[in-house]
Every structure is written in structure tokens, then in C-alpha cells.
Structure 1
């Protein structure tokens, strides 16, 4: 089998020097000029999947460094465990050629992540294999070793055959075990014993054996960090919940860290697949000798109030832990090096969050999207809202897998750009050595930019295109063929063909629309700042990496050309969309953001285009300094628009050579909804189910399934929305969930302290019924539901407006 680097090289991405396939193969070849990278990092991956194995390689390359990795066949594949002894030998040899190391301890001890979940390797063998850590450190005490281990997740591999068929019961058993045996919940003992009886004894024995062994190894590694054998250690909590054996294990490890006084060198927080990339990025940032700053903003629920799926600490705490691990600093400054926009779930519209991303990208900020609102995928709502506003290739990162990937990529990108500006990269002077050094620096910056774009493209193809649009069809195919989609034995070839043929055209369309021709800053080559353009998708290799349907391996070949963009000045028009009162002329204050994407001055003409009858400013000549960003205020007066009608304003920028680019803003005539939380409205209800609280019915989101008021079954339900102040109202619209309509209900308005029925419906068949009535001045609205398809309410939004009466003015 090929090395990880060879897989990348097959797609035209890297040279063969990236792979340490033999003792001498990891070393860079001798050459007369400067080295092709800023240093080498030996990486022992968690397993052979792209996230654990390839992402660290790309992170290193994006930071101007080279990652050395073992041959892929040494890493195993799914249930074929890696050759732990051979990988240890490889690392022992390669570490001598590298400047630093990132080591996945489960690979060295057991043969990978999946192997760590069984007791196939005994404690003595695992300890013996991990002696390589001491050997490497003894050979070179100054060689920094960053390592990570995993606190075992709750359950076993979920396959349809033995033993995976018991994965669900094992998870429930593990959660109840903690509550009964550790927390004294004797009321749960009958349930605990019942589920335990379902699981064969050998499965329970193996599970407990693996947990005990892994916990002992984790304690050993904390002691190794205390002894200086490991310079920095992360113990990552694999998929977790509030209860389970991991809770007590984590408490014991935290106590040991405190006892040994190594809290500055040992971190414990959620994550498994992300840790190799995180620690590789840490090395890169430290070697570049900069401290990037990171500003964090949340989409809906603040990070301190939300726990992401399969995690066990608040999301805000996790983000802070990742930032600290990377060697970056949290900052609220408007000029922080990275703006992390973290997408959390909960009530509320994503529009303000997306508008913030649009504004920041327009001003040239390095914006990373940490997208964990929906586990393991890009949030489709977020992607659909953001893609029309920006070119996705302008982002600093996007991860639907784990926010640590977004942070690692964007922080490394920021670190390389800053390091290039502080001092020339690579040895020598461009003034004295001339072309060889200057060319090497430019090649390094270009290569790093290509790695950055590959990372961004790979992520979007995997967690958006494949996981959101193709993965279900692959799973269904395997099931239809009578195979297990979690571990395919007969349907793999057909499933792979289906995955590739469905995903490839989507991927190529994504590149053409969101990447091709997009300008990006390269950094400073010692003579000045450089600009490049994302040029072409030269190759694309796709395949199911493991014989299961969850992940798609994505290996793109992307070329970035070191040259100015076709249009030197880009433009964005803010806000992206505006609602105005229908049937009235309205004056709008818009902002055109002009950004010179080149190292030279640029003169352009800014003109405004709008529908006939609208009043626009005269064309304006604008001169921009190199890389200058300027906000130009524009005043536009609309003509009267009919309700629900819209018009488009465009800012058109024309360069001296006649090249034009433009950006648009949409103006829509919409009635003012007084039942919005953002307008001061509050809500209460008869009850709700799970996290689907009544606040989600007044958050302005009429499309997201995550933003609904849902109730438990009952004969009747009610919802009351109190307005911020008395309001004239004459229209109520209910945005419902198709297929589960509210059939019988009453709408009432609170007028002068008394409820007045303004709408009564029996046998409703409309998804978004609109109820009109004579205008009243009300302080609240009430919905009483007495009939639905299944005695539950599923309601996206209650919209209350005033449309027809003179009171509305």
C-alpha cells in the first residue's frame, strides 16, 4: 500500500519527501539552495483515515512545514489493526531526522483507535511498546514530543454483526453502570441489571478489560509528562455523555495531573480524531515564533451555555482549551488575527451570524467557521445562507467535524502570514542571494496557500457534499444489497462507485463556483506582500476509505498561481438584505466595502444600479492604496414596493482596464413582525418536548427543523406571546411543519386586558395559514390548540403583523 504522502502525491499535491517510508526516505534530499520547508515534523497518526492521518500533513504544509508519516499499510484499516511495533520502529528512526514529533499513543500501544477499544493487547505489551517514548527522548532530549491518548468512548463499534450488534445496549449499560455503582442511584439498578443481562459476558469482560488497561496507560502517560519524556500531552475524551465510566476515569486523571503539578503540560478535554492536527498546529505555531489572537463569536446559543453533541463540557470551555493548546490567545479586539464564528444550535435566526461573516470577509478578516451545531456535518442552513454572500475559498477554515480543525487551520494560516511579515522566511537574503532565495520563499508561500485551499475544499466535500447529499444513498445501497453499511463485505465496490459518481460532479461544481479565481494573500517574501489566485482543480481522488459508509476520502490537487487577480478591487454591499415597509418609499443607508487585493495602488469607479424609479448616487472615482479596505457610504431611496415584492441594488466597481465586478443587496417589502424575540417579545406555553422550547417559535426562523416549538402529546396546548409594547395588529400567520398540521385552534389577542378571539379554525389543511381580522391594539397574542394529527404541536414560528389598517402607520 502507498504512504499517506504518496496518496497526496498521486493527486499532485506533495513531493515524495513527505513520507518517511524508510530510515533515509524521511530526510529531505540535499540541494544547493534553501530548504523547501521550514522544518519537519514526524507524525504518528491515530489511524489511516483522512482526518487523523492526512489533516496533520496538510496543517503542517499550510504552515510551511513538512510532515513525515509512516507507510499507510503499517496503520491498518478499520478492524485490521495497525502494526504497532513497526510504527514504533519507524518513529524511533524518523524522529532523528525530524525537528519535532506528534504521536498518537493508541497507535503505538495498540495499533490504532479501533484497536484501543478491545483488550486484544494486554497491559504489559502496551507498556513495552510505549518504551519507544523514552528511547526517542534519551537519544535527543531536546527533541519536542507532543503526544495524545484517548479516554475510551462509551460503546463498541456499531456493526450489525457480532459483537457490534450490542453497541446500543453496551452504551446504555455503561451509562447506568456509572449512575448505579459510582453515584449510588439504586433506583436505576433494575434497569442496569436488565440491560446487562442482554449483553454476552465476553463482550462485557473485553469492554471492562480495555477500559482498565487504557486508564492505566493514560495514568502512565501523565507520569511520563511529569518526567519530561513527553513535552505536551492531551488526553482526549472520545464520544461522551453526562454519565459513564469515562466520568470517573476523567476525575481520577484530573486529580493525578494536579497531584503531579503538570497542568501546564497535560490537558484533558473532548476530542479524538482532531488531536493530531491540533498538536501539529501547535508545533508549527511555536516554530514560527508568533502568538496569533482569536476572537470568538457564537451563532445562536452562547458557548458557555451549550454542550455540543458527544461532548461533556461547555462548548466555550472547549474552544478556549483548543486556543490555549495551539499557543494562541483569546482576544475581543476587532483586529484579532482570526475571527472564529462558532455555529451552535438553539433558538434564533442564523441571519445575523451570517451577516457578521459576510462583513468580516469583505473587510479581509481571516474568518474560520467552527460548525458543530449538527454533529459531523456542515449545517445545511448555514451553508445555504453564507455561500451566496461570499466565495467560500475566502474563508480561513470551515469544519463540520470538530471546531479544533477550524482553529488549527486558521491559526496556522495566521501564524505563517504574520511570521512572513516579521522576518523573511528561509535562510539568506533576497537582496544578496537573489533569485534562488526569493524563489524559494515564494514557492513556500504558494505551497502553503495550496495546502490551505486543499484543507478547506476537502472539508466541504466530505462533511457537506458527501455527508449531506450522498451518504444516505450509499447507506441505503448497502442495505438493499443485504450488506452492513457499517462494515461492508460484499457491497463495498458498488457503494464506492455510487459514492464517487454522486460526489464528484458536486465537488467540481463547488470548486468552479466557490474557489476558481478567488484571490488570497500569500504573505511577505522578504521584498513585499504577495497576492495569489486559486487557479485550477488539477485532480480529484475520491473513495470510501474504510469499508463503511460514513467517511469519504478526498484528495484534491489544487493550483494557486502567484499573480494578481483579474479584478484588482473586490466589492461587497452591506447589508446583504433589508426589509422595508410595503407601499412606501424608503431611504436606505448602504455600505460598499472596496478591498484592493493587490500590492499596488488601484483606481476604480464605483457606480450604483437599482430598479427604475429608485434614486441612486452618482458614480464615484475611488483611489485605493495597496491592500487598502475602504467603506463607502451609499444612500438609495426606493420606490414603493408591493407586499412581498423585492428589488436589487448593485454596487458596480470598474477598473481602469474596463474589468468590472459587482455585489448586490436585496430589498424586500415585508410587514413588521411584532412577535419576535429580537423586537422584545416574550413567550410562555403549556409545555414543550426536549429542547424544543416555545422561544423557538418567536426567533424569526421559519425553515430550520432545529428551531421549532414541539410539545409532548396532550389533548390541548397553548402559547402566549407578549409584545414589548402595545401594538396595532390585524394579521397572524402560523408557519407549521408539513405533514403534522395544527387542525383545530383558536387565535386570541389581549386587548385592554381581556382576551378577544380573532381567529377560529376547524380542520385546517394549510401549512402556513394566514388569519386576517379587524385591527386591534393588543399587548399579547394567544394560540389555543385543541386538535392536531398526533396530539402534538410542531410549530416553526408565530408571525404577528399589521398590514391593512390606518392604525398600522
Structure 2
């Protein structure tokens, strides 16, 4: 088995260009090409052997110019084969003597990993004895920071079909009811609590409670270790939580102990498990670089303060703030913040304005990270479909398809290194000064690690999980095996996962990474850039014998050749609507970004359909790394309804090939029933979070953005406009298979409701209803027939389309 260290590539600057460097043996640092240059070494004890907790911290360190080392992979175990906690402890004892700092997963040291921590095979005294290595390390290396994390146990057990996992669902419900009945006195739930408990074998319940009690005591021990200075910084991560469960009371007791000991500045509790190693590694790197990056945050749909992500128990905005603080960064919503975190939350609303912001900021050269937690466990497909045509993903500061902590860690480290680039040092002594050539090596290796991190995340959480994972699961089921713990068909399932993902990954790299120019930063004398040249290798495999995760190890090659396209070009806004049948003046902005250290002189030209008015070509000159804005005034001809046209912007450098980009102009009727246009909505009721405001949010495609009711004989929805509006057309976007069959549409005209549409037996998913133009202040949809008594409606749109009647 290859070691973790051997799976993390490195890149160095050679005379012939930038090339990939072969990996180092297990437990050793990975030097760049030529003379080894590293800003420091961090010893990392991972949570387990999966790439997310084991490899990502090493890559985060590399992205910050540091070297991270980890124990041999065989010592970390695999799934139900627990890690060798004693061997890992001995490895760390020796490694810590050479490293500048350490990041330690306490469940690995105490029990042999995260999965092992959920069972009671290790007793309390053994766990304590193993953790005594903390004091040994600190005593021997008192000036070297030890950042550690432990986990507050999740609600349930491993979800396998064999013992004990067939009870994972009942165990979770039993744990929730335990808290509600025994801690909160909800006696009305006692009967269910006792019934669920009786359905679970006693040995499973006993083992579960034993593990929780032991882990809770160890968490308390670690808080005391932080208080006495054995641990310099401690995070207790809340693993997969909900509003109720034993973790709630445990967390309260742990918080009380933290307050009692006065260590709130050094001990934190918040959601997260797999991410914590990367987060603490990034914290160390940022501190060692001696900078304080600033982070601005914008939300996609629901503000983070009003949304709690699945499997978490605090508002998302609070979690983001905790992560930013842990990293040593500063929350700042000013336009010049070093990092812009675009956090994708779920809820009602269109993603288009969110994506417009992403593309505009990337076009201006800003470091933009996408924290994508809207859909549990994966990249949000809707977001990806909108972002990828607009930017090159290689330009991003990070993308986490289910854990904002990863993209935050990656982007903050990137920002810190770019800020510190011209003053980088390998240590504190006079001999640790780096010459510019060595700083350039560090910057290049860091950029390669940054690109690997982007690829690893996108290949795993988008390509594999969104496009391949279901097929791998079905393969195991079809062959009579458990997809959660394959014991019979793992090799075939692995071959299927690798084959299908590999083809998608090659296409992703070619489209989003190959040829993209990357700004490396300054070595103190000049700015450096590199071009993402090739993916020289891609190692894919199912790391554990289950279908959920794919291990991804890309080998990225950078070159110092001039980019094929020295200027990045954007036309903003990239999409806009105009009224059909009218000529419209458009005010667009061209954003030109010189990605090289050379001056660029070029000709800027605009092309549009025949009959449109466009500006004449102009000559522009861009200084090295300059971002330049040019207003572009275009007047359209009349467009037919529901048609699209393109404005093409081209930039032709002197002696070079043109670079082009487009903006799409759509002929769309003005929808007066939009919340963003001032409309408001009320309804007879709604089910769960599917409130009526989701029917006027402009999103007619996302299943998260629907008005849904409980079952009943009749329902109504009323939309009030910001002012009286001419209306003659209403479109209803419905959920296929669950149509509104019988309904009436009424308009409020001069204070009186008048019916404008009556329908029985509807069979259309998106019926469009036209009627004589009325000037209305509101519309009312009365629904008397559906398939099952529930309403499921994506969107109600109200427009005026009659020539001469719409004002």
C-alpha cells in the first residue's frame, strides 16, 4: 500500500520549466525540485486513512509553502480494521522531535480512528494511557505548538447491512428520544422511546452508551490538557448532529468546563469532524506566515444566520464565523477583503445573482472561494451548471462540495502565502533567509498543491458523487453485496468507479484547468506566473470497501511558458433580459485582466446580430497584471419573445490570437409576480419549509424552491404586486406527476376580484394561461383538485404581452 505522503505530489521550478516531482517515501517530507525549500514542517496525525482527513491537511500545508508528514498508511487502518494507535503514537513521538509543530487527531491516538471511536473496544484506561504521549511530546518539545482535535460522538452507528449497522436508523431515533425524554422531560414521547429501544439488541445499546461515556470523559480530559498547556489549541468537533440527542447535553457540560477553567480562547466546540485536521493545519500555516487574512462572506439564497445545514446544530453563519476565527483570519465585508467566500445555502430564490457575483469578482482577479453546503454531501449541480460556463474553475480560491471549512482553509492559506510571498523565510535564524529563486520555488509548489486540492474536491464531490456513485451502489446491490461494506464485489465496483470517473475527470481538466494562467505571487523582486499545463497522472480508487467515497490523487504539471491567452476577458453582466419587440440600450462592462508580467497591447471589438448598434473597435494597453474596465454600449434590435441573442467581445493582442467572451441577451416578458420586483405572497398554508414565497422567487427548476401544502380539499395562493400592473398571461410551473388539475385564477381589479381563468382536468406541467389584459393589484390562485390533495408549485409568473396594452 502506498503511503499518504507518497500520494501527495510536489512541484518545483527547474531550469527547463516547472515539472512534477516524484513522491517521497512514507513519513518523509516531500522536497521540491532542486535544493529542498520548505517554510517549515508539520507532523500530522490524521483521523483515519481517507483522503479528506488524511491527505487534505498535507495538501493544505503544501499550499502554504510548508511540508506536512503523516504516519505510514498501514498504521492508520481501514474502515473496520482499526488503526494501530500505539504505533501511530510512537511515530508521532519521534516525528514531533523534528517537526516545527503538530496537528493531532485524538481519536486516532486513543482508539485507532474515527470509526473505532464509535465502539467501546478500547476501555477508558487504555485510551488515557495512549494519550499520555501528548505529555511526553510536550515535555520534550515545549516550544513547539500542538494543535489537537477530538470528536463529540455522532448520534448513530455505522450503516452496514450486517452487524451492527442494520440498526443505524433505530439507534439514531433512540438517541434523539433519549435526550428528549430523559433530559428534557418530554414524557409524551416515552412510549415511542421504549418501543424503539426494545427493537435494538441490548448489546448494541450497551456498547453505544459505553463508547459515549468513555469519549465524553476523554473530551473532558483534553480540556484539562489544554488548560495545563499540554495542548496549545483544541477543537471538539460535533460529528453529525441534530437538535436532540446525547450530544446536546454533553456539549453543555463541556462548555461549562471550558468556562470554569477559563480556556475559551484555546478550546472551541462547533460542528465538524473530517475537516478539523485541515482547519488546524491551515491555522498553523497562517500563524507561521505571520499575516492576518481578511474574509468577506456572501450568501446565495438563505442568509447564513437563518439557515442550519443538514447534520449540524448551530446556524451556518455562526459556523462560518467560528472557522474564520480558528484560522486566524478576520471577518471583513469590505470590497478589498483578501478572500471572498461565496457560501451556497439552500432555500428559495434564484442562483443567478449569486453566480453573477462570483463571475464578476473572479474576472477582477479576486480570490473567490465557494463554500457549497446547499446539498448534503455533494456539489450543488444547479450551481455547477451556472458557474462552469462563466469562469475557469482553476481560478477559484477553493470549492468545497460539502464542508465550507475546506474551501475556507484552502483560500485563507492561499491568501496568506500571496501576502507574505516577498518576505518568506524558512525559519527564524539569519541563515534561514531565502533568496528570490527559493521563494519562487515555494510559490510554485504551493500553487501546484492548490490546483491539486481543487481537482481532488471537484472530482470527488461533483464528478463521482453526482454522476457515478449511484451506479457503483447499484452494482453492489445487483450482485448481492452490501454497498456500505462490500465483501464480495469490491474489485468490480472499484473498476466501475475508476473507469467512469476517469473519463469525466479528463474532460474536466481539459475544459476548466488546462492552459489557465495562475498568479504565483511575488518573490520580493518580481511577480511570477505559471500555466496549468497537464494532468500527468490521476490515481483513483474506492478507499474503503463502500460506495460513498472515491480517493482522488491528481498529478498537476505547471509550466513557466507564456500563456496562450495572456489576457482574461469577461463581459458583464453575462446574461440580461430585455422586453420583446423593443429596441433596448444595454450598458455592459468589459473586464480585461493581464495575467502576465509583460505589457499587452490589443484591439477590443464587439460583434452583435445584424441590426444592432455596437461601438467601433478600440486599441487598449494593459500594464503587467493590470485589471482594466471598459464600458460597452450596445443597442439591440427588436427581439421575438423567448429568443436569445449573443453579444461577442473579442480581444486580439498584437501578434496574438483573439480571446473571446459573450453575454447572452434574452427576450423575456417582465414578470411582475417576483419578490425581487416588490411582489408579496400569502397562502392557505404550507408544509415544512416549503413556504409560499418560494413560488415567487424566480426559480422554476429547483426542488428546494417550491410551494408545497399539506393534503386538503382546497388551497389558495395570493400574490400582491408592488403597484397596479397590466397582466394578460400567467404561467404555472408545476411538479411532474403531481399536477394541479382543477383551479381558478382571479385578478383584483379596482378593488374587485374577477375570474380570468378556470381550469378542470389540467394535464400540462407548465400551462400558460392568456386572457384579456387587466390592470390588477393582485392575483389569486384557487386550487380545488390535485393528484393527492397536496399542492406542489415551483413558480407563478404574471406578465403582460399584448402589444399596445402593456404600457
Q: Same fold (TM over 0.5)?
A: yes
Q: Separation in 2 of the partners of 1:595 and 1:4?
A: 38
State the TM-score, normalized to the length of structure 2. 0.97
State the TM-score, normalized to the length of structure 1. 0.97
Report the counterpart of residue 803 of structure 1 in structure 2: 801
1:18 positional shift: 7.0
Counterpart contact for 1:46–1:106, Cα < 8 Å: yes
Q: Separation in 1 of the partners of 2:526 and 2:154?
A: 49
Q: Separation in 1 of the partners of 2:35 and 2:3?
A: 26
SS at match of 1:291: coil
Report the counterpart of residue 530 of structure 1 in structure 2: 528
1:531 positional shift: 1.1
Given the alignment, which residue of 693, 715, 718 partners 2:716? 718
Matched, 1:228 2:234: no
Report the counterpart of residue 260 of structure 1 in structure 2: 261
Counterpart contact for 2:10–2:445, Cα < 8 Å: no
Report the counterpart of residue 177 of structure 1 in structure 2: 178
Report the counterpart of residue 322 of structure 1 in structure 2: 323
Q: Which structure 2 residue ranges, 5 or more long, are not aligned? A: 12-18
Report the counterpart of residue 747 of structure 1 in structure 2: 745
- Quick one: structure 1 residues 13 and 467, their matched pair in 2 at CA, closer, same or farther if it must change by over 3 Å? farther
Deviations 1:536-558 (A, max 9, x none): 01001111000000000001111
Matched, 1:472 2:470: yes
Report the counterpart of residue 38 of structure 1 in structure 2: 39
- Quick one: structure 1 residues 627 and 218, their matched pair in 2 at CA, closer, same or farther if it must change by over 3 Å? same
Deviations 1:178-215 (A, max 9, x none): 01000011111111111011011100000000000000
1:441 positional shift: 2.4
Counterpart contact for 1:522–1:530, Cα < 8 Å: yes
Report the counterpart of residue 53 of structure 1 in structure 2: 54
Q: Separation in 1 of the partners of 2:29 and 2:392?
A: 37
1:311 positional shift: 0.4
Q: Separation in 2 of the partners of 1:167 and 1:393?
A: 39
Report the counterpart of residue 198 of structure 2 in structure 1: 197
Report the counterpart of residue 8 of structure 2 in structure 1: 8
Report the counterpart of residue 655 of structure 1 in structure 2: 653
Deviations 1:628-657 (A, max 9, x none): 111110100000001011210011111011
SS at match of 2:55: helix
Report the counterpart of residue 305 of structure 1 in structure 2: 306
Q: Separation in 2 of the partners of 1:739 and 1:657?
A: 58
Decide which moves more: 560-569 or 701-710.
560-569
Deviations 1:133-176 (A, max 9, x none): 00000001001000000000000001111210000000000000
- Quick one: structure 1 residues 10 and 200, their matched pair in 2 at CA, closer, same or farther if it must change by over 3 Å? farther
Report the counterpart of residue 441 of structure 2 in structure 1: 443
Deviations 1:336-368 (A, max 9, x none): 100000000011100000000000000000000
SS at match of 2:42: strand
- Aligned pairs for 1:653-732 within 5 A: 653-732=651-730
Counterpart contact for 1:26–1:94, Cα < 8 Å: no
Q: Separation in 1 of the partners of 2:466 and 2:296?
A: 29
Q: Separation in 2 of the partners of 1:70 and 1:427?
A: 24
Q: Separation in 2 of the partners of 1:28 and 1:136?
A: 25
Report the counterpart of residue 592 of structure 2 in structure 1: 594
Counterpart contact for 1:34–1:427, Cα < 8 Å: no
1:587 positional shift: 0.4
- Aligned pairs for 1:245-284 within 5 A: 245-284=246-285
Counterpart contact for 1:531–1:563, Cα < 8 Å: no
1:443 positional shift: 2.2
1:426 positional shift: 4.7
- Aligned pairs for 1:781-792 within 5 A: 781-792=779-790
Decide which moves more: 438-447 or 526-535.
438-447
1:440 positional shift: 2.8
1:807 positional shift: 2.5
1:2 positional shift: 2.2
Q: Separation in 1 of the partners of 2:101 and 2:21?
A: 20
Q: Separation in 2 of the partners of 1:243 and 1:433?
A: 53
SS at match of 1:169: helix
- Quick one: structure 1 residues 173 and 721, their matched pair in 2 at CA, closer, same or farther if it must change by over 3 Å? same
Q: Separation in 2 of the partners of 1:413 and 1:13?
A: 20
Given the alignment, which residue of 755, 771, 774 partners 1:757? 755
Q: Separation in 1 of the partners of 2:78 and 2:548?
A: 14
Q: Separation in 2 of the partners of 1:257 and 1:666?
A: 55
1:658 positional shift: 2.8
- Quick one: structure 1 residues 10 and 35, their matched pair in 2 at CA, closer, same or farther if it must change by over 3 Å? closer
- Aligned pairs for 1:444-459 within 5 A: 444-459=442-457
Report the counterpart of residue 609 of structure 2 in structure 1: 611
SS at match of 1:97: coil
Counterpart contact for 2:580–2:667, Cα < 8 Å: yes
Q: Separation in 2 of the partners of 1:9 and 1:339?
A: 28
Instruction: Please tell me the root mean square deviation across aligned C-alpha atoms, in Å.
Output: 1.9
Counterpart contact for 1:608–1:618, Cα < 8 Å: yes
Counterpart contact for 1:18–1:66, Cα < 8 Å: no
SS at match of 2:319: helix
